[in-house]
Structure 1
Amino acid sequence: MSPNIHAHRLRVRYGETDQMGVVYHTNYLNWFEVGRTEWIRKAGLTYRELEERGVLLPVTDAVLSYKKPARYDDVVEIRTRIKELGVVRLAFAYEIIRVSDGELLVSGETMHVFTNKELKPIRLAKTEPEIYAWLDAQYKGGE
């Protein structure tokens, strides 16, 4: 696996499924958030630290493609990477894989805009050049 992809595993909880034992579709967005948060943490920063520095990353768009269902008690792996990095925008790509058979269950992406605490877009390379350089290194596969 590429060094700029972070894998995080979790077990499907009963409360995440519907009456048929299939993961309810909106939970995949929650798992994308888990993947994104853990990707940032693994790379050496946390969402909390970003926010303390005045940088927010609201989601502007989300795309999901459902392939196969995850079910109660499955162990899934959320694979997260930066798909695109711009001066004002950032996109993450995700794959959710069932660990037992390696089956791709869901793929997708979320698009974000860098904002300040007032939710006004900021040019991250200008306002927080260290953070931008760090993200750029991660995007290019650095550790």
Structure 2
Amino acid sequence: MSPIIHTHQLRVRYGETDQMGVVYHTNYLNWFEVGRTELIRQAGLTYRELEERGVLLPVTDAAISYKKPARYDDMVEIRTRVKELTAVRLTFAYEVIRVSDQELLVSGETMHVFTNSELRPIRLAKTEPEVYAWLDAQHKGGE
């Protein structure tokens, strides 16, 4: 089965654009964060609650590919999925789509490592087995 894709829509705000009315390139990384935060929230868990349990997800790598620009007042949809999951690493994949024409604007990935509050790697399946199982189900398509 395919991974479950979580979606979140937002409207491009004026402050996210440059003088040409085009979304400034770094804002897409902020939108990726929105996508993964909302994906985690769908598990009934917030990033804050995860951190309170002593689990952090620092970004170790990010990749982004710009296809077409989003512009001021566009409605966009952030599509987020778990691309890879191991005992100590997690990779999210993203697509930003313009809602009006379903045009792919940006795609990308962020890679994370599971750490404790001292930023030492942990095995999520041992420290938070329910969270790991939920992420695994997202990755495998709910099998």
TM over 0.5: yes
Superposed counterparts of 1:52-63, under 5 Å? 52-63=52-63
3-state SS of paired residue (2:132): helix
Between the aligned partners of 1:57 and 1:16, the Cα distance in structure 2 is 25
Q: What displacement does 1:59 show?
A: 0.4
Q: Classify 1:102/1:83 alpha carbon distance in 2 versus 1 (closer, same or farther; 3 Å).
A: same
Superposed counterparts of 1:1-143, under 5 Å? 4-142=4-142
1:61-110 Cα deviation digits (max 9, x unpaired): 00000000000000000000000000000000000000000000000000
3-state SS of paired residue (1:109): strand
1:39-79 Cα deviation digits (max 9, x unpaired): 11113221111111100000000000000000000000000
C-alpha RMSD over aligned residues: 1.3
3-state SS of paired residue (2:15): helix
Q: Classify 1:110/1:3 alpha carbon distance in 2 versus 1 (closer, same or farther; 3 Å).
A: closer
Whether the aligned pair in 1 keeps the contact of 2:3 and 2:83 (CA below 8 Å) is no
Between the aligned partners of 2:142 and 2:96, the Cα distance in structure 1 is 23
Amino acid paired to 1:33: E
3-state SS of paired residue (2:56): coil
Give unpaired runs (5+ residues) of structure 2: none
Amino acid paired to 1:88: V
Q: What displacement does 1:130 show?
A: 2.1
Whether the aligned pair in 2 keeps the contact of 1:43 and 1:138 (CA below 8 Å) is no
